[in-house]
Copies of this chain bind each other. A is one copy, B any other.
Amino acid sequence: MNKHKVTFLPDQKEVEVDEGTTLFEAAEEVGVYLNSLCGGEGVCGKCRVQITTGNVTVDKNSIAFFTKEEIQKGYVLACQTRVKDNLEVVIPPESRLEEEQILAGPRLEAQKTWTETSPIAYSKSDWICLHRRPSDPACLFEPLVRKVYLELPEPSIEDNIPDSGRITRELEKKIKYPSVEAPLPCLQGLSIRLRRHEWKITATVARHNNIGRILQIEGGDTADKNYGVAVDVGTTTVVAQLVNLKTGQVIGVQGNHNLQAHFGEDVLSRIAFVCGKGSLDVLQKAVIENINTLIQTSAQEKSINVEDITSVVAAGNTTMSHLLLGLMPCSIRDDPYVPTVDLYPQVLANGVGININPHGVLQVMPSVASYVGGDTVAGVLACDLANRPETTCLIDIGTNGEIVIGNNEWMLSCSASAGPAFEGGDTKCGMRAIRGAIQRVEINNGRVVYETIGKAKPRGICGSGFIDLIYELARNKILDIDGKFKTSVQDKRIIEGDGELEYVVAFPEETETGQALVVAQTDIDNIMRSKAAVFAAIKCLIDYAGLTFDQLERIYVAGGFGSYLNVDKAIGIGLLPDIPKERVEFVGNSSLMGARMALISVHAFEEAASIAQGITNIELSAFAPFGEEYMAALYLPHINREFLFPSVNY
């Protein structure tokens, strides 16, 4: 039988397989794990890959999953495609089943539309955006910190300008900056270094406020060794992507729990710690330790010297950003909710304790207000809200729910305290969206079908699992309109535990821990409050703008629910407004996406700064209608179901 070599990109993993093997099998053989919900039946459309070289046998039915353009580009479903040639196969990030995916990857409910709108993907080319217009400056590959190799002409008596001018003159032939600065530390010792390396050097240049700042001059050509880190500094989780700044490629991703959690679960309790008995320093050091661990682990994994990491872009809510930079957060908490700064200065990363190149920089994404932070701005950047004539909406659901509505002429934001339920907190069996978390649930006639992340034995329930669960419990008439277990229902899964009713999702024998996984009445109450706060916030913003929901061309949903969100069910419980589901797109960790965009394109960062300045924030605490809207939303799906949720039909 014929053998063929299949190379999977971007990992460059190669495998030789028999002709007729599916790409899905070939990938598994070499340790590349693809997404799949259907087990290779060609039904879920999750295992999309792109053939860039060679011929394959494609199952024609799978064509339905792709647009014409995608088919021309070579997109196929891995499980429905058989090898008949030596191949190069690109695995798009959304198709990879990895920790990265779980923590960081964008996900979609509406398969048919995602390619048209997925806001960003990696690319080895100069383009960082697959779906923005190429002319869009934010898509230009021009990392925040670049390394440029220069061969300088030797000075002569006719051309004896200063060393720094010689470098600048040559640099400007390669990069166009309005001006270039060389700070003192990179001038000290420069004359010796230039001559020792015979005028062949590599300049590391950061851009900020339209000025190119030379961070470092190395002898010889080190331009290939330039890495950056995009960090999503979440209140609960910190996620970092290691990016090759020569190519724009993401080469590693790591996540860990925010160590600040020792000093308070949420933003308010951490502010209370800092401004009460605790200290700012302790919290700053905690999150710096998070970041250093992530950077070190990623770098070690890829055998990269941390000295070759020249830049970090961090996106976080306003409190996280303040704590990261050592800025007092106390006034964020108190009316009238004033942060110290919104456009954070670019600083020496070492200066705040981040262990990368000693001249490397840290840029924190700009924020809008005390409760609409750089994570939201990064999301707006990633989802391209600010450039479109049509009005769209970003809903980022974490411990706080941040909402942005707008278009290329105006943008409004607000924030509501949602609590940690959707991220697995405040619930008996909740967990983060990692391997073993139940992410999908269906209940039919008392039979529960669930699916876990990584197909592992269940260990807990993540946000998307809870949404499904509440929906299914409501649809099956197990929950009342006010989210309470109906005492009338007879079901072996409804048990009495800890003085309240619980619903058993997985029995002890099914789980990894041997303990039942349940959702208790208190859990449901918490989720009800969370979803009510988020919906009320959206409603207030829409009302404030004088719009109706059907005027939203698209809703992007970001958050740590998991790698999956069932939009129908999220609408069904009254979390999301009742608009056609094809207009709703789940974008996962849009904060990390935006941070990565800013890392690899200064133009994207500049867009972020103008986004942050362009958004008008509405303080819900001072917005009278919010309380009423919140009360009205504490029902399944809403007290005004007829008018606001006409399509919900359980």
Closest chain B residue, CB of each to CB of A348: B184
A325 interfacial by beta-carbon distance below 8 Å: yes
- Provide the bound-state CA to CA distance between A391 and B216, in Å: 42
| B327 lies within 8 A of A187 (CB) | yes
Closest chain B residue, CB of each to CB of A335: B157
B-side contacts of A340, CB under 8 Å: 162-164, 187, 190-191
**CB within 8 Å for A328 and B192 given contacts A155-B336, A341-B164:** yes
Which A184-235 residues have a C-beta within 8 angstroms of B? 184, 187-192, 195, 209, 211
Q: Which of A115-123, A175-183, A579-587 contacts B (4 or more CB under 8 A)?
A: A175-183
CB of A405, distance to nearest CB on chain B (Å): 20
Closest chain B residue, CB of each to CB of A341: B164
Interface 1/0s, chain A 304-330, versus B by CB < 8 A?
A: 000000000000000000000111101
CB of A547, distance to nearest CB on chain B (Å): 23
Contact pick for A336, options B160, B337, B338, B370, CB 8 Å: B160
Which A339-380 residues have a C-beta within 8 angstroms of B? 339-343, 345, 347, 351-352, 369-370
| B191 lies within 8 A of A330 (CB) | yes
Closest chain B residue, CB of each to CB of A160: B336
**CB within 8 Å for A331 and B157 given contacts A325-B184, A338-B162:** no
| A338 lies within 8 A of B155 (CB) | yes
**CB within 8 Å for A187 and B341 given contacts A192-B328, A619-B160:** yes
Closest chain B residue, CB of each to CB of A210: B179
B-side contacts of A179, CB under 8 Å: 209
- Provide the bound-state CA to CA distance between A135 and B76, in Å: 71
| A342 lies within 8 A of B181 (CB) | no
A161 interfacial by beta-carbon distance below 8 Å: yes
CB of A416, distance to nearest CB on chain B (Å): 16
| A619 lies within 8 A of B209 (CB) | no
B-side contacts of A160, CB under 8 Å: 336-338, 369-370, 619
Closest chain B residue, CB of each to CB of A164: B341
Contact pick for A351, options B165, B184, B345, CB 8 Å: B184
B-side contacts of A622, CB under 8 Å: 157
A490 interfacial by beta-carbon distance below 8 Å: no
Closest chain B residue, CB of each to CB of A367: B162
**CB within 8 Å for A341 and B211 given contacts A155-B336, A327-B191, A330-B192:** no
Closest chain B residue, CB of each to CB of A347: B184
Contact pick for A327, options B181, B188, B370, CB 8 Å: B188
| B331 lies within 8 A of A195 (CB) | yes
Work out how many copies of this chain go into the complex: 2
Which A156-176 residues have a C-beta within 8 angstroms of B? 156-157, 159-166
- Provide the bound-state CA to CA distance between A190 and B162, in Å: 40
Contact pick for A157, options B336, B339, B347, CB 8 Å: B336
- Provide the bound-state CA to CA distance between A99 and B342, in Å: 51
| A183 lies within 8 A of B345 (CB) | yes
B-side contacts of A159, CB under 8 Å: 336
**CB within 8 Å for A191 and B328 given contacts A338-B160, A369-B160:** yes
- Provide the bound-state CA to CA distance between A328 and B190, in Å: 8
Contact pick for A341, options B182, B189, B338, CB 8 Å: B182
- Provide the bound-state CA to CA distance between A27 and B160, in Å: 53
- Provide the bound-state CA to CA distance between A519 and B178, in Å: 58
CB of A96, distance to nearest CB on chain B (Å): 37
Closest chain B residue, CB of each to CB of A213: B345
CB of A232, distance to nearest CB on chain B (Å): 21
- Provide the bound-state CA to CA distance between A190 and B322, in Å: 12
- Provide the bound-state CA to CA distance between A179 and B326, in Å: 24
B-side contacts of A339, CB under 8 Å: 162-163
- Provide the bound-state CA to CA distance between A347 and B181, in Å: 12
B-side contacts of A157, CB under 8 Å: 335-337, 619, 622
| A345 lies within 8 A of B184 (CB) | yes
B-side contacts of A347, CB under 8 Å: 183-184
- Provide the bound-state CA to CA distance between A330 and B196, in Å: 13
B-side contacts of A184, CB under 8 Å: 325-326, 345, 347, 351-352
B-side contacts of A189, CB under 8 Å: 328
Interface 1/0s, chain A 396-430, versus B by CB < 8 A?
A: 00000000000000000000000000000000000
B-side contacts of A336, CB under 8 Å: 155-157, 159-160
CB of A414, distance to nearest CB on chain B (Å): 13
CB of A374, distance to nearest CB on chain B (Å): 13
Which A16-35 residues have a C-beta within 8 angstroms of B? none
| A345 lies within 8 A of B182 (CB) | yes
CB of A312, distance to nearest CB on chain B (Å): 14
- Provide the bound-state CA to CA distance between A179 and B192, in Å: 36
| A331 lies within 8 A of B188 (CB) | no
| B195 lies within 8 A of A162 (CB) | no
Closest chain B residue, CB of each to CB of A328: B191
| A163 lies within 8 A of B211 (CB) | no
B-side contacts of A195, CB under 8 Å: 331
- Provide the bound-state CA to CA distance between A328 and B352, in Å: 29
- Provide the bound-state CA to CA distance between A308 and B220, in Å: 45
Closest chain B residue, CB of each to CB of A619: B157
CB of A186, distance to nearest CB on chain B (Å): 9
Closest chain B residue, CB of each to CB of A190: B340
**CB within 8 Å for A165 and B369 given contacts A328-B189, A336-B155:** no
CB of A217, distance to nearest CB on chain B (Å): 11
B-side contacts of A341, CB under 8 Å: 162-165, 182, 187
CB of A212, distance to nearest CB on chain B (Å): 12
Cβ contacts A to B, 6 pairs, < 8 Å: A160-B369, A162-B340, A164-B343, A165-B341, A187-B341, A188-B328
Q: 8 closest Cβ contacts across the A-B interface?
A: A164-B341, A160-B336, A157-B336, A157-B622, A191-B331, A162-B339, A162-B342, A191-B328
20 other A-B residue contacts (CB within 8 Å) besides A184-B351, A195-B331: A155-B336, A156-B336, A157-B622, A160-B337, A161-B338, A163-B339, A164-B341, A164-B343, A165-B342, A181-B209, A183-B347, A184-B325, A187-B325, A187-B345, A190-B328, A191-B327, A191-B328, A191-B330, A191-B338, A191-B340
